[in-house]
Structure 1
């Protein structure tokens, strides 16, 4: 059985399709530590999205939480993740085939409980 912690990093085939969508790294200030590869940062982002962990809990092997979060925000604004989903769907369709003979949607909508202060007296 698979768990969110059974994380595998981006395969080479997917990375070759994704890499051109990413903007090249440009340092804002001189100095600091050596830049982390975009692939490593993307693996950190995917780890965070897959596990649901806090940004601060991403393993340091992927880079600092602030660098990973900064790249995530920039790439999200540029639509990189929308394009990544399209690439993954196209690849899945080529390998397994997507069957749209039926669709299903599930959800619920309830009002959040309201907390009121108790009146004294």
Structure 2
């Protein structure tokens, strides 16, 4: 078994959430071999054509990853794995933190034109399709930004891909809106953490109003320019923002989550032309962290 292969315990956690072959013309090639091939490429960042022959045809491995990235299979599997972890009490909801990280895009990631190719028997737009393909241009070249929320055990709950130059504050609400951990026993999925942490980049009146409206306690420091503006407005500026320094120290958990994600070379550097493919790659990395966490 290779370093990137699923162990028997990890496979037993994942096997029950894999899609069935009902409705297809033929049978799926063994899921475990194909997923191990995708994980090998995820860890090493090699071109698909250079996959070792022990994983079978590289095109079969690539097509499986492309299909499951497009139709949302990886997203559903991530939610299922999180639901199992929540039922076992392995999710730390006491402190969920938000942050983002910039990934350099390889030169091969540029040049995608028009709509993505067919993903099923009929033409359909991928679930995570972006018209801008999640690529931004800066002095350093093309970049992509990963916005995420992580639990207290350094595992990502949700992911959002945007161009690299997009700010953090406007993406906090879309990120939190994606938190939906199903309950295996039935009922509404869990969508709210007990407490939210973030750095100064997430401090804005809009974000704080949203958190108060959803009754989510939060620890987000207020930048000096916002403090000055609030004091200048007097009583109309509102009360000073409460800040718990001890809780804020736990923000390193989301930074460690990012380090764990970028330990995968195919996440640290974006090679995919399509945003939905890169989203699937990062989602699979998150699934692996949940299986091993």
Q: TM-score, normalised by structure 2?
A: 0.30
Does the Cα contact within 8 Å between 2:4 and 2:36 map onto a contact in 1?
no
CA displacement at 1:44 relative to structure 2: 1.4
Structure 1: stretches of 5+ with no match in the other structure: 28-34, 115-121
The aligned counterpart of 1:41 is 34
Q: What is the deviation of 1:56?
A: 2.2
1:111 is matched with which residue? Answer: 138
Match for residue 98 of structure 1?
92
Instruction: Look up the match of 2:151.
Output: none
Q: How does 1:24-103 map to 2 (within 5 A)?
A: 26-27=25-26, 36-93=29-86, 94=88, 96-103=90-97
Pick aligned residue for 2:3 from 1, 6, 21: 6
Aligned residue pair count = 102
Query: CA distance change for structure 1 residues 99 and 57 in 2, over 3 Å: closer, same or farther?
Result: farther
Runs of 4+ displaced beyond 6 Å: none
| Whole-Å separation in 1 of the counterparts to 2:89 and 2:41 | 26
Distance 1:99 1:84 in 2: 20
Whether the aligned pair in 1 keeps the contact of 2:5 and 2:39 (CA below 8 Å) is no
Higher strand share: 2
Q: 1:47 to 1:100 in 2, by over 3 A?
A: farther
**Contact 2:37–2:61 (8 Å) recurs in 1:** yes
The 3-state SS of whatever aligns with 2:93 is coil
Secondary structure of the residue that 1:99 maps to in structure 2?
Answer: coil
For the aligned residue pairs, the C-alpha RMSD in angstroms reads 3.0
Quote the residue 2:167 is aligned against: none
Counterpart CA distance in 1 for 2:68 and 2:20 is 7
Instruction: Give the conservation status (yes or no) of the 8 Å contact 1:18–1:84.
Output: yes
Residue 100 of structure 1, CA deviation: 4.7
For 2:46 and 2:94, how far apart are their aligned partners in 1?
Answer: 32
Shift of 1:67: 1.1
| TM-score normalised by the chain length of structure 1 | 0.62
- For residues 107 and 16 of structure 1, what CA distance do their matches in structure 2 show? 31
> Given the superposition, is the C-alpha separation of residues 92 and 85 from structure 1 closer, same or farther in structure 2, using an over 3 Å criterion?
same
TM superposition shift of 1:110 = 7.0
Which moved further from structure 2: 51-60 or 65-74? 51-60
Q: CA deviation at 1:22?
A: 4.2
CA deviation string 1:68-92 (max 9, x = no partner): 1112112222211001211222233
State the shift of 1:113 in Å: 4.7
Structure 1 residues 47-82: Cα deviation after superposition (integer angstroms, max 9, x where no partner): 222332221232221111111111211222221100
Report the secondary structure of 1:90's partner residue: helix
